Amino acid sequence: MDRKELQGRNKEGRARTEREILEAVDHPFLPRLYGVAEGERWSCLLTEFCPGGDLHVLRQRQPHRRFSEAAVRFYVAEVVAALEYIHMLDIVYRDLKPENVLVRADGHIMLTDFDLSLKCDPTAPTPAHVISDPVGLTGRPSASSTCIIPSCIVPSVSCFSLFPGRGRRRRRRKKASGGGGRGLNGSSDGSLPTGVLDLEFVAEPVELRSMSFVGTHEYLAPEIVSGEGHGSSVDWWTLGIFIFELLYGVTPFKGYDNEMTLANIVARALEFPKDPSVSSAARDLVTALLAKDPARRLGATVGAAAIKRHPFFNGVNWALLRCATPPYVPPPFSAAVATAAGSGGPGKKNSPNDDDDMSDDSCPGTPVEYY
């Protein structure tokens, strides 16, 4: 990053936010910050190189410039897992789009570019929101401890441990029903002992709010366009646009210019193209995510937990996403290809001519040799 350019465009704060986020995250679908180098002109963040480029370029190389539904399910599941994690850290991403989803050497994704992200103020006092479980489990940590019972014990519990932060964290109670594997009482039908509650871990920064006008025009949520203020629900709106674009090769509300695009986002009803034919589950998921009222949007209250239960993800093993076979694995790259990549990696910033808080809508210069 050019330090003078950041100063001239008043972007130092956003660069600082991105660095703080990269220093905080530790997740297989997010960048790992290996080091920082500060010079007189340049500020450098050292992260992993992704030889697969980004999903925008990869989509352009698919038949009819769109992914198969199976490939969409794979990529979206990993994006949902990444968003769930950063929401647990009280971070709203706000800039999901195919250009910001890179493909690692093993074919799995890396969600990048956090300069538009909304990060909570750690100095603001906010009480924790944890509903304790009155039922104790023999030999297991109590509900008031810092441990979560792993999903292999109670299948509906998210496979994430508690992280420091101020998001609303609670364990939702449901009546126990049969599940796969053996239950806590050793029964083969997966049933729980009488009186033991099925637990679900929920972490969503519902109290985080902003009035900023940030994002990419075609992906902006209606509440951002209308200036009503927004929170974490905008990430689930952008997820709906993201899924739509991967499936159909276009975004649903794009107009002939940015002004018309914004008008369409606020007023136009969602319509699905006749071609290609996609499953009713996929259309239902997109419809639920693209609810114009953020309070009625899928994921608005319980976050990723509600999205992961949707029928579109039937068959997805959320605990073993890293073990799933990717739809595409990039070929080994040479030093020449790596050099040609230029700024196409995680540290890529918007061009100097972009609006201050708007992402670059153009396709990044990812070398075609990647594919």
Residues marked active site are found at: 95
d(CA 52, CA 50): 6
- Looking only at the bridges linking them, the beta strands covering 168-174 and 101-103 are unpaired
* Residue 236 · residue 155 · CB < 8 Å: no
The three state secondary structure string of 53-90 is CEHHHHHHCCHHHCCCHHHHHHHHHHHHHHHHHHHHCC
User: 366: exposed, middle or buried (C-beta count within 10 Å: 0-12, 13-18, 19+)?
Assistant: buried
Go through the chain and tell me how many residues it has.
371
Q: How far apart, in Å, are the Cα atoms of 288 and each of 116, 118, 292, 298, 310?
A: 25, 24, 9, 5, 10
The encoded tokens of residue 247 equal: 């499936």
**Distant-in-sequence, close-in-space partners of 347: CB < 8 Å, separation ≥ 6:** 1, 44, 45, 47
Angle at the Cα of 189 from the Cα atoms of 186 and 192, rounded to 5 degrees: 60
